[in-house]
Structure 1
Amino acid sequence: MSDIQAIVQLAARGDGITADGRYVPLAAVGDSVDFTVQPPQIRPGPNHAAPACTHYPACGGCQLQHLNDDAYTRFVLDRLLRVLPAGWPAQVHPVALSPPRSRRRASLKALKRGGKLSLGFHSEGTHALVDIADCPLLAPELMAVLAPLRRLLKSRVRDGQGAGVAMTLTDDGVDLLLANVSAEGLAAIEALTDFANATDLARLSVEGPGGIDTLVERRQPTVLMGGVAVPLPVAPFLQATREGEAALVAAVRAAVGDAGKIADLFCGLGTFALPLSQRAAVLAVDAAGPAVMALGVVARRADRRVDVQHRDLFRRPLTPGELAGMQAVVFDPPRAGAEAQARALAASNVPVVVAVSCNPNSFGRDAKILVEGGYTLNALWPVAQFRWSSHVELVARFERQP
Structure 2
Amino acid sequence: MTTVTIERLGQQGDGVARGPIFVPLALPGEVVSGTTEGDNLIDIRIETPSSDRVSAPCPHFRSCGGCQLQHANDELVANFKRDTVITALAVHGIETEVRPTLTSPDKSRRRATFTARRTKKGALVGFHARKSDAVIPVPQCILVTPALAAVPALAEALAMAGTSRKAALNVTVTESIEGLDVSVAGGKPLDGPLRISLAALCETYKLARLTWDDELVGMRIPPVQALGAAFVVPPPGAFLQATQHGQDTLTALVQEVVGDAKSVVDLFAGCGTFALPLAEKAEVLAVEGASDMVSAMDAGWRKAQGLKKVTGLSRDLMRRPLLPDELAKFQAAVIDPPRAGATAQIAELAKSKIPAIAHVSCNPQTFSRDAATLIEAGYVLEWVQPVDQFRWSAHVELVGAFRLTHTR
TM-score (norm 2): 0.90
| 5+ residue gaps, structure 1 | none
Mapped partners of 1:116, 1:143: distance in 2: 20
Question: Which residue pairs with 1:101 in the alignment?
Answer: 107
- In structure 2, what is the equivalent of residue 14 of structure 1? 13
Give the one of 382, 389, 392 matched to 2:393. 389
Q: Is the 8 A contact 2:270 2:288 kept in 1?
A: yes
Give matches, 1:71-90, under 5 Å: 71-85=76-90, 88-90=94-96
* Residue pair 1:145, 1:199 contacting (<8 A) in 2 also: no
Give the match for residue 49 of structure 1.
54
5 Å-filtered alignment, 1:1-400, equals 5-18=4-17, 21-34=20-33, 39-42=43-46, 43-85=48-90, 88-154=94-160, 156-179=162-185, 180-181=187-188, 183-186=190-193, 188-207=194-213, 212-302=214-304, 303-400=307-404
Q: 1:124 to 1:304 in 2, by over 3 A?
A: farther
CA contact (8 A) 1:181 1:206 kept: no
* 3-state SS in 1 of match to 2:124: strand
Q: Is the 8 A contact 1:262 1:328 kept in 2?
A: yes
Q: Residue 155 of structure 1: CA displacement?
A: 5.0
Does the C-alpha gap of structure 1 residues 133 and 314 become closer, same or farther in structure 2, counting only changes over 3 Å?
A: same
CA contact (8 A) 1:89 1:378 kept: no
Larger displacement relative to structure 2 (159-168 or 62-71): 159-168
Where does structure 2 lack aligned partners over 5 or more consecutive residues? 37-41
Summarize deviations over 1:208-256 as a string: whole Å, max 9, x none: xxxx332221111110001101112112210111111111001101111
Equivalents in 1 of 2:52, 2:171: separation in Å? 35
Matched to 1:118, the amino acid is: L
AA matched with 1:55: H
Give the length in aligned residue pairs.
Answer: 396
**In 2, Cα distance between equivalents of 1:11 and 1:145:** 32
Between the aligned partners of 1:40 and 1:217, the Cα distance in structure 2 is 50
Q: Name the CA distance, whole Å, in 2 between partners of 1:348 and 1:369.
A: 12
Separation of aligned partners in 2, 1:267 and 1:152: 33
How far 1:340 moved relative to its partner? Answer: 0.8
Q: Which amino acid aligns with 1:304?
A: K
Indicate if the aligned counterparts of 2:181 and 2:207 stay in contact, CA closer than 8 A: yes
Output the CA distance in 2 between the equivalents of 1:401 and 1:296: 34
| Residue 177 (structure 1) shift | 1.9
Is contact 2:125–2:155 with CA below 8 Å preserved after alignment?
no
- 1:392 is displaced (CA, Å) by 0.8
> In the alignment, residue 223 of structure 2 is paired with which amino acid?
P
Partner-residue secondary structure (3-state), 2:150 = helix
With 38-47 and 261-270 compared, the bigger mean Cα shift is at 38-47
CA distance in structure 1 between the partners assigned to 2:22 and 2:401 by the alignment: 34
Give distance in 2, aligned partners of 1:36 and 1:129.
26
CA drift at 1:192: 2.5
Contact 2:27 2:50 in 1 (8 A): yes
Q: Once the 2 structures are TM-superposed, how far is the Cα of residue 15 of structure 1 from its aligned partner?
A: 1.4
Q: Per-residue deviation at 1:90?
A: 3.5
Pairwise CA RMSD: 2.2
Does the CA-based 8 Å contact 1:335-1:359 persist in structure 2?
A: yes
SS at match of 1:110: strand
Runs (4 or more) in structure 1 with deviation over 6 Å come to none
Residue identity in the other structure for 1:136: I
Residue identity in the other structure for 1:185:
G
Aligned 8 A contact 2:359 2:400 in 1: yes
